[in-house]
Amino acid sequence: EAGVAQSPRYKIIEKRQSVAFWCNPISGHATLYWYQQILGQGPKLLIQFQNNGVVDDSQLPKDRFSAERLKGVDSTLKIQPAKLEDSAVYLCASSLRAGLDASYGYTFGSGTRLTVV
């Protein structure tokens, strides 16, 4: 099966510019996650989608970050305007389903490395 696809692989922007990342999960995976991983730290969840609905976005800085998954398949994460501290790897992951009966693992994409200068 094809994996989780992410693009671009790398992006360098100046602070206050905007940037968008794209993720296409594994076919049939209802749940999609966006994580931010700062160098030397574990991934931190930004937002979780179940189909095209948001399950959890409590750690998403909503003043500058936005995400959507309009048709319940691929998703975009946007940062506008970017700050220096947004420099990180942005990881997308998908899972077959989520919820109380879930016992499935998750598959990650290769990530997008963002550098804000």
Q: Which is nearer to another protein, 66 or 108 (CB)?
A: 108
Q: Which is nearer to another protein, 13 or 45 (CB)?
A: 45
Q: Which is nearer to another protein, 56 or 68 (CB)?
A: 56
Question: CB of 107: closest distance to another protein in angstroms?
Answer: 7
Question: CB of 114: closest distance to another protein in angstroms?
Answer: 12
Tokens of 104: 């499935």
Please give the residue ranges that form the binding site for another protein (CB under 8 A). 6, 31, 33, 35, 40-45, 48, 55-56, 89, 91, 93, 95, 98-100, 102-111, 113
In the chain the beta strands, taken as DSSP E runs, fall at 5-7, 10-13, 19-24, 31-37, 44-50, 53-56, 65-68, 75-79, 88-95, 106-108, 112-116
Instruction: Please name which of 102, 105, 80 lies closest in space to residue 94, comparing C-alpha atoms.
Output: 105
